[in-house]
Amino acid sequence: MEEIISTILFIVLIYVVLGILFSLIFIWKGLEKVDHGVEDSGKLFKFLIFPGLVTFWPMFLVKWRKS
């Protein structure tokens, strides 16, 4: 049981770390290309959407590539 949980947690950790790295680059380079409503939206807004970006980062990776 402990091994299974540890493995799942390790996978989740990798997903989150990749998500954090992707989200930092995405906010800097890709966010405005994917959603034009983000222009001039401010740092607090980007901070507010950051946890969600880390959660749903694969979706934004696809959107960014398509844009």
Partner 1 sequence: MSVNYTSVLWNKQKKGYDKILWLGILLMIVCFVAFQLIFHPEITAETLVIRATAITAFVLLHIILSIGPLSRLNTKFLPLLYNRRHLGVSMFFIALIHGAFSIIQFHALGDVNPIVSVFTSNQHYQAISAFPFQTLGFFALIILFVMAATSHDFWLNNLSPRIWKTLHMGVYVAYGLLVLHVALGSLQYESHPAYWILLIAGFVTITGLHIIAGFKENKRLSADTGLPVDDAFVEVCAVSEIPDDCAKTVFIDGENIAIFKYDGKVSAVHNVCKHQMGPLGEGKIVDGCITCPWHGYQYLPENGQAPAPFTEKLKTFEVKVLEGKVWVNPNPKEEGTFVEPAKLETK
Residue ranges that bind partner 1, judged by CB under 8 A: 1-2, 5-6, 9, 34-35, 37-42, 44-45, 47-49, 51-52, 55-56, 59-60, 63
Structure tokens at 11: 């996978």
Q: Are 57 and 18 in contact (CB under 8 A)?
A: yes
Residue number with CB closer to partner 1 (20 or 34): 34
Distance CA 20, CA 53 (A): 8
Closer of 21 and 45 to partner 1 (Cβ): 45
Residue among 7 and 21 whose Cβ is closer to partner 1: 7
Q: How far is the CB of 9 from partner 1 (least distance, A)?
A: 6
DSSP class of residue 30?
I
